[in-house]
Amino acid sequence: MPATSAIPIIDLGPYLAGEPGARDRAAAELRRALTEIGFYSIINHGVPAPLVDEVYRQVARFHAQPLDAKLAIKLDRHNVGYLPMMGDTLRTSVVADVTKPNASEAFFMARDLAPDHPDVLAGKRFRSPNQWPAALPGFREPLVEYCEVLERLVGRLIRLYARALDLPAAWFDGPFNDFQYKLRATHYPSQAQAPADEFGIAPHTDTSFLTLLAPNDVPGLAFRTQGGDWIDVPTVPGAFIVNGGQLLLRWTNDRFLATPHRAVNRTGGERYALAFFCDAQIDWPIAAVPTCIGPDQPPRYDTTYYTDYMIHYQARTYNILGDPTRDAAE
């Protein structure tokens, strides 16, 4: 496999332990990964393996429920709850002309806001309480704990991003204080006999600043190289896979990549995946950082905000929400 097709592995252990020089060494590795490939793996990240295993177990429990029980918490306008099979079509894909819905189902959760949180009381879009299954004791707690652990990890990762962009290490601390995240816990049934143009998730790029994919022993994920070849993502025991998306392009003026990827389960068994999508807080202006613009590098994107971007994305993607024109106009 050529070097530009391999996914680099970044050992976070020295950086998280505070070893001198480790932060900038890891940032240099991250810079190479995000300018040449767009994916990287992290090891010694500090996320307990038993917690990851328990979340996978709970997600399998959720998806094993009868359909009526899952539809009781159907995905809402805040993008939390249950997305049924064939419930989304990636019409926003910049990789392919996608017309077929995804052959997968998912449970979405966000930061676990209380009903009396000021943003909830104000009715802010994408800032709502989560929807939890009514008859699944023991489900909520490990998922909330998992998100909290990953939130702390992201707080360390964004300092590597800042240094990789030749910015002060704390540059992203402000926008990523109380940042937006979504956990998508996806079930991919077997598609061993599916046509070549049907996917669990069709070719696409993410919307996020960064996405953390949990370690997964079941293959199915592939990414597209800059040369146009599709490469199966290798399994590295215990490693998280990290990639960027469309909002990372906006922050970096296209310096860092949003690499196309897709997923299809041809194993003959069940496949589950845990994707943790991370973005700045909803009220922070998303615009190219100073080191990515200049006299010969004008901004390629208008300034935007998470809420505005995601309203339009959601309206074009989620079939189950009804009239997309209504949501896009809100």
Q: What span, in angstroms and rounded, lies between the C-alpha atoms of 187 and 106? A: 6
DSSP labels, 244-286: -BHHHHHHHTTSS----EEE---SSS-EEEEEEEEE--TTS-B
Length of the chain: 330
Q: At what angle do helices 49-63 and 140-164 cross, to 10 degrees?
A: 120
Q: How many CA atoms lie within 13 A of 328 on its CB side?
A: 10
Task: Give residue limits of the domains in the chain.
Answer: 9-329
DSSP SS3 for 210: strand
Sign of torsion over alpha carbons 275, 276, 279, 281: positive
pLDDT value at residue 320: 65
DSSP β-ladder status, 39-43 and 9-11: parallel
pLDDT value at residue 2: 45
pTM here is 0.94
As given in the structure block, the two tokens for residue 257 are 């990549």
Please tell me what DSSP assigns to residue 88. Answer: B
pLDDT value at residue 326: 40
* Angle, vertex CA 207, rays to CA 206 and CA 209, nearest 5: 100
CB 81 within 8 A of CB 107: yes
As given in the structure block, the two tokens for residue 80 are 């939390």
What lies within 8 Å, CB to CB, of 6 at 6+ separation is 37
pLDDT value at residue 86: 87
pLDDT value at residue 100: 86
pLDDT value at residue 67: 97
Reference 192, options 83, 103, 59, 98; nearest CA is 103
As given in the structure block, the two tokens for residue 205 are 């790029």
In order along its 330 residues, the chain shows pLDDT tens digits of 344 568 999 999 999 999 999 999 999 999 999 999 999 999 999 999 999 999 999 999 999 999 999 999 999 999 999 999 988 888 888 777 877 899 999 999 999 999 999 999 999 999 999 999 999 999 999 999 999 999 999 999 999 999 999 999 999 999 999 999 999 999 999 988 878 788 999 899 999 999 999 999 999 999 998 888 999 998 889 999 999 999 999 999 999 999 999 999 999 999 999 999 999 999 999 999 999 999 999 999 999 999 999 999 888 888 766 543 344 333
Q: How far is CA 239 from CA 111, 157, 185, 211, 313, in A?
A: 24, 15, 17, 13, 29
Indicate the class that CATH gives domain 9-329.
Answer: mainly beta
CB 119 within 8 A of CB 303: no
Q: Tokens 């006999």 — which residue?
A: 193
pLDDT value at residue 151: 98
pLDDT value at residue 191: 87
Strand order across the 39-43 sheet: 9-11, 39-43, 240-243, 210-213, 271-279, 180-188, 105-110, 81-83
Q: What span, in angstroms and rounded, lies between the C-alpha atoms of 74 and 82? A: 5
Q: What span, in angstroms and rounded, lies between the C-alpha atoms of 51 and 57? A: 10
CB 262 within 8 A of CB 203: yes
As given in the structure block, the two tokens for residue 120 are 């909830």
